[in-house]
Amino acid sequence: MTGLNIPAAPRWAILIVISVLAGYASYKLAGSSVVVPEVTMSQVYPASSGALDILDRSFSLSPAENPLRNEALALMSEDQTKGWILYNEIVEAGRARYYHGCFACHGEWLNGTVPAQAAGAGESGTPNPLQAAFALWRIDMGGSEQEKTPETQAPAIPVAHKRLDETKVWQIITFLTDSAGLVPQLDMAGAASKNPPLMDMALYQQRCAVCHGEHGANDGPASKRMYPQPRDFSLALFKYKTSPGTLPPRDSDLFHTIKRGLTESGMPAWGNFLSDAQIDSLIPVIKGFDITAAWAPEDADEDDFDEEGYYLKTDFLQISEIEPVTGQVSFSEKSIAQGKVAFDKICIKCHGPEGRGNITTAKSWLEDDWNNRIWPRDLSKPWTWRVTQADGPEAQSREQTVRNIYTRLSIGLPGTPMPAHRATEAGNRDPLGAEDRWHVANYVYSLRQKSVPLGDKPLIQALRVTGPLPDSLDDAAWENTPAVSLRLWPNIIKQERLTTPLNDAVTVRVLYNDEDIAFLLEVNDRTDSRPGEKVSMRVQDRRYRLNPDALAIRFPRVDAVETGPQLLIPHYLHGNNTNPTTQWYWNAGSLEPPQPASKLLMDAIGPAQKLTLRTNDHSLDAQGQWEQGRWRVLMKHPREASNGRDVSFNEGLLIPVSFLNWDGSNGEILDRNTRTPWYWLVLSAPTETDQGLVLPVGVSVGVLLLGFLLMRVQRSRGRS
């Protein structure tokens, strides 16, 4: 085989390109050579090993060891009906006890893998941090305090657990395993064939009533402290629909909401647990809760309704009309610019100049149609968008996401202050023309560029600079500093628990030189929460006292981090006597009474102990500024600890670090706050700059040499 007769120069060019691509591929496959210890949310919520720890003993979650289930199975072998009745009674008793005493910390039970974690946890054995922020909160356990165990890092067993006898514990376990789909199919196979899956109202009562209420009026036991509130079905108003104008939603809208869930809320994606047929069976149940005749046929008689307005028949309307999305304008800088002009005219009053949801209108209090306080969406954080954000990589999902934004603009969000921007009645003029709506949709999509996406790695890399560190928040050096956004989780472990967090992320940048280290923290916050500040006072949530906003950084003290087969770092809640922590704290201060912003250094030795203020240590420098819905706080400190107690920020070390945030307008103060788990701070570039590049460089050189040898062999054969 003689091969292709390609001139020497092109052959060398092709060979070089191939070798570079091979090296790049190996680099991407190998990744950074920095070894980062595993950091999970188990630092926030104590992990379980697949057992439920109650009453100072471990209850196996294996169905085979459940005495109540075994009793029901034994009865089923004699009488199927009686056995199932007993089993359902056990499940219902467990459901009632769970939502009365457990839901506050453990949340909705939806994951079918590892018990003791809530929906979609993604981390074995820990409660789901997402649901911790939006559904792990809701029922007060009667004010019972945890027993103090100062010598241990793990939280003590709550007193509420100790009030449960073993029968009640097994009832709860049976409910949990049933809800998670862990009913043993081998044991129940015969019974299941004679007992089809729950449908219609029975399914609603099992899965939905705890939040939405038995009659769909948002009065379930888990709804009291939820934000956003579960939907009240009585008025047939649904935020996310594709039917035009004031028409009720299409059946497909209801189906998709149930199946896919609503991001950043307590509404899970039920498609993971229910069949399509079961979801379909819930739609007429939801329609039946309406008291406005929205789904009743136009020719329905008065006798078809009861005294409370419920339609008694089942021939509900099925809406077929769909909001048009024709004439889409391509995503471009020109369209974005035109969209900003329109946005500034009609959207800025609620969403703010940068789209962060900071209200600028004189209308200070936004409510939904049920008089619940509601905050404008932060449009710069697409991970909080419900329904609107399409799945898939950006290049593939952008076009569909823009169409969804256009639909939201056209229809509005029924039941909320978000109006329709297309005329709802024929003959009326559109509040915003179709082309302008497309431009606004493109502009709104572009706002995500104003936020750093949430990171998925526990590493924060500090960048070395020559010369002095920035002294201002607006120094250009910060623009080229690596940034990482970290999820903030609410404190649901220790009183006062935070049940309705609004701030969900902190963005971190770190610079250092020979002497000092500086952190720039950014938190999107809709209000400049300083008592006396006029706008903040005007928009203050009436349920809470306005407290100053605050941010903090937490580090372990010297010798507080132990290495070995398992890395041990201080407990999430301020460490303990043997593993203390240090906290850099900044407070925004107050205008009335006058109180300047403050910077404090504090020490902590455990969740049951008060923080100790360092009165003679002034080594921390800090400043902050709120602007257009965002706090930016700069903290600077010497790298070398002068007291022999604090961690020194030496290059090449992985230093544990955690961040805390207090949203003063949300009533957050003391232990009522949001925080990150422990992450890792590293000073100096990752070792991929040296050892990490050995493999890709070696692959590139190897491919180049191999190609050279092959060409020599080919030339030799050609001469012969």
Angle, to 10 degrees, between the axis of helix 200-207 and the axis of helix 276-288? 90
Q: Which amino acid is at 172?
A: I
pLDDT at 331: 96
Q: What is the dihedral of CA 244, 246, 250, 255, to 10 degrees?
A: 110
The rounded percent of the chain whose pLDDT value lies above 70 is 74
Residue 468 has pLDDT above 80, yes or no: yes
Euclidean distance between the first and the last CA atom of the chain, given in angstroms as a whole number:
13
Closest CA to 45 of 167, 132, 151, 120: 132
Residue 563 has pLDDT above 80, yes or no: no
The pLDDT confidence band at residue 59, using thresholds 50, 70 and 90, is low
Say which residue, 190 or 606, is predicted with more confidence.
606
The pLDDT confidence band at residue 567, using thresholds 50, 70 and 90, is low
Q: Is 705 exposed, middle or buried (0-12, 13-18, 19+ CB in 10 A)?
A: exposed
Residue with token string 């039941």 = 415
pLDDT at 418: 94
pLDDT digits (tens, 9 = 90+) for 23-42: 666 665 555 444 555 544 34
Per-residue three-class SS string for 229-291: CCCCHHHCCCCCCCCCCCCCCCHHHHHHHHHHCCCCCCCCCHHHCCCHHHHHHHHHHHHHCCC
The pLDDT confidence band at residue 301, using thresholds 50, 70 and 90, is very high
pLDDT at 217: 95
Residue with token string 């010598």 = 151
The pLDDT confidence band at residue 351, using thresholds 50, 70 and 90, is very high
Instruction: Name, of 33-42, 654-663, 676-685, the range with top average pLDDT.
Output: 654-663
Residue 449 has pLDDT above 60, yes or no: yes
pLDDT at 107: 57
Residue 155 has pLDDT above 80, yes or no: no
Give Cβ neighbours of residue 563 (< 8 Å, ≥ 6 apart). none
pLDDT at 80: 82
Lowest-pLDDT choice from 5-19, 86-100, 232-246, 507-521: 5-19
Average pLDDT over residues 452-459: 85
| SS3 category, 39 | coil
Q: What value does the CA radius of gyration of the chain take, rounded to a whole number of Å?
A: 29
Average pLDDT over residues 280-289: 96
The pLDDT confidence band at residue 586, using thresholds 50, 70 and 90, is very high
Lowest-pLDDT choice from 211-220, 512-521, 551-560, 696-705: 696-705
The pLDDT confidence band at residue 95, using thresholds 50, 70 and 90, is confident
Lowest-pLDDT choice from 341-345, 499-503, 593-597: 499-503
Average pLDDT over residues 556-573: 69
pLDDT at 205: 87
The pLDDT confidence band at residue 57, using thresholds 50, 70 and 90, is low
C-alpha to C-alpha distances, 514 to 190, 469, 471, nearest whole angstrom: 73, 10, 16
Residue 68 has pLDDT above 60, yes or no: yes
- Residue 152 CA to residue 608 CA, distance in Å, equals 12
| SS3 category, 97 | helix
Lowest-pLDDT choice from 100-114, 239-253, 601-615, 621-635: 100-114
Q: What are residue 637's DSSP bridge partners?
A: 517
Average pLDDT over residues 645-668: 91
Say which residue, 165 or 234, is predicted with more confidence.
234
The pLDDT confidence band at residue 77, using thresholds 50, 70 and 90, is confident
Residue 335 has pLDDT above 90, yes or no: yes
- Residue 234 CA to residue 370 CA, distance in Å, equals 11
pLDDT at 388: 94
**What are the tokens at 667?**
């009533």
Pairing state between β 51-54 and 57-60: antiparallel
Instruction: Name, of 198-202, 572-576, 614-618, the range with top average pLDDT.
Output: 614-618
Say which residue, 713 or 256, is predicted with more confidence.
256
Mean pLDDT score of the chain, rounded to an integer?
A: 80
Average pLDDT over residues 452-463: 88
- Residue 485 CA to residue 506 CA, distance in Å, equals 6
Long-range contacts of 409-413, Cβ-Cβ distance < 8 Å, separation of 24 or more: 409/437, 409/440, 409/441, 410/244, 410/323, 410/437, 411/241, 411/242, 411/243, 411/244, 411/245, 411/323, 413/239, 413/240
The rounded percent of the chain whose pLDDT value lies above 90 is 47
Residue 529 has pLDDT above 80, yes or no: yes
Q: What is the dihedral of CA 457, 459, 464, 465, to 10 degrees?
A: 50
Residue 421 has pLDDT above 50, yes or no: yes
Give Cβ neighbours of residue 596 (< 8 Å, ≥ 6 apart). 589
Give Cβ neighbours of residue 120 (< 8 Å, ≥ 6 apart). 110, 111, 128, 130, 131, 268, 269
Pairing state between β 550-556 and 654-662: antiparallel
Lowest-pLDDT choice from 3-17, 570-584, 598-612, 661-675: 3-17
The pLDDT confidence band at residue 688, using thresholds 50, 70 and 90, is very low
What is the distance, to the nearest Å, from the Cα of residue 457 to the centroid of all Cα atoms in its chain?
Answer: 15
- Residue 436 CA to residue 341 CA, distance in Å, equals 9
